[in-house]
Amino acid sequence: MSRRPSPWNDKTHDLFRALCAEKTLSYTDIARAMSAEMGIRITKNACIGKARRLGLPMRKTPQRARKRTEPAPPAEITTPRLAVWSVSEPPMRRVNGYLTLLELKHTSCRYPFGERPPYLYCGKPAQKAKPYCPDHCDVVYGRNWGNR
């Protein structure tokens, strides 16, 4: 696998240093001038990297004159109308005696049944400060869970 020869030699270094000495040229302009002069494509980033490796001072980006435009008049400020939504409790619908996830309340037993959708849950009233009903607390925490 052969590598292409580097376009950077003594001649290109001298040309590069001469173009960099002109403070009015950007690295894009230097790359274009060198590409036209040498007959090969040299990019702006190649010029920036070479300047860093040669220890040349970095140049500031030339500021382009912007067109001054009059500021647009401020838009009329309006207050948005708030949408009023009524949320009603979904009916407690039991599937084979179990509830779906959307039908659970915060006080319902969350013991799951099934491994595939639709996922079903016990739905009986849960123990205070527990996610399960007394029967499922026995299953999850063991028979003596209330004595702890």
Question: Under a CB-based contact definition with an 8 Å cutoff, are residues 47 and 16 in contact?
Answer: yes
pLDDT of residue 63: 62
Give dist(CA 121, CA 95) in Å, integer. Answer: 10
> Does residue 88 register a pLDDT over 90?
no
The rounded mean pLDDT for the chain is: 82
- Give whole-number Cα distances, 132 to 1, 73, 125, 145, in Å: 69, 61, 8, 12
